[in-house]
Structure 1
């Protein structure tokens, strides 16, 4: 009888270990499984303002592996009067302004700057782009990168794909 419980106990132990490892991997990689953490989950939203509907997009900004400091946050893109308003919020807050841009490409292969954004101050930034949401999406793939500082622009602290 004792011999039957030992294999059952080992099987239960291995199932528990597999669940723990899977949970840790999901937590570390944000469910995306690439070296940049979450490559930017995108969520479409619709809001009604004074009788008009606006469509927005929320993008997750994730830390960039191998770069310190690292930041998490969101980028909200909303079309108002035919222009896209980009609101960035990241944490932890770093000293000094942090440049941010919309680049061609994705978090793994960042290309040229397409749209400069207002530098973040105390982790926040609002920029208005002279482009509609439809025209912006026609340029995909695009990525938002937050840089450590103007002096260290090659150090990305957060990234999210549109």
Structure 2
């Protein structure tokens, strides 16, 4: 019997099986690698320095519109309003006035029409107390609000004198991303200055304030949003007297206990602040002309 001739076919079969098996194994490993790659989480956003949080998660800012409120009827008051989209069906309206201190609380509304002679009230806002008002309007989006233009935000002199307007501003449809500057009268004077209006947001998370330091212009508003899940009260240094910038104290405002605290910085300087309920955590706002 010729063993060489009998072994040759068997060897060929064995080699073929090894080739097929190796190819199948290679294909299987390639598929597993592809599957594992597909299971890996897709990350987006840059890491915030000093935290394990992604910047995209920290700065998911809602759409924002800004309205400049100009002095009316020699009231000595002017300022700005910021309209913020919260979630999918709420608009927050933040009104801040500066200038001559009011004698009493001032009614405020979003009116139909335009300044200086707006029409009927479309959306009532909370009264302006000590220069500030925060109102959440439910079942409304900024897109819907824009579709209803022309609209104006109007602050009245007092509840007893609704016909006298103290400050008024038209809501514009363009989103304010970055700076929006224009000439406007300085309340109580005959001069004009270039006022740069900009909205800022600082997030307060379990890792601290982010961004920890911001540089803004005098007259800019900063919104501090508490995302720690705990109570907080933002105030200027030093703890516990807060005398560095006494007005910059959430506890002294009608925003006490709220998760958002908005403040307009009217003083130039370097203002360190902290959480009064957790004084080891703080940040810095640098205000320039």
Q: So what's the TM-score if we normalise by structure 1?
A: 0.66
Aligned to 1:77: 83
Aligned length in residues: 113
Moved over 6 A (4+): none
Q: 2:58 aligns with which of 50, 54, 74?
A: 50
Task: Indicate the RMSD between aligned Cα atoms, in angstroms.
Answer: 1.5
Query: Partners in 2 of 1:121 and 1:49 — Cα distance?
Result: 34
For structure 1, which runs of at least 5 residues remain unmatched after alignment?
A: 1-47
Question: Structure 2 residue aligned with 1:96, among 78, 99, 104?
Answer: 104
1:95 and 1:122 in contact (8 A); partners too: no
**Unpaired stretches in structure 2, ≥5 consecutive residues:** 1-55, 172-289
- Larger-Rg structure: 2
Q: Structure 1 CA distance, aligned partners of 2:170 and 2:84?
A: 16
**Equivalents in 2 of 1:83, 1:134: separation in Å?**
11
Give the deviation of 1:109 after TM superposition: 3.2
Q: Which residue of 1 aligns with 2:121?
A: 113
TM-score (norm 2): 0.38
CA distance in 2: counterparts of 1:120 and 1:51, whole angstroms: 29
Q: Secondary structure at the match of 1:69?
A: coil
1:145 corresponds in structure 2 to 154
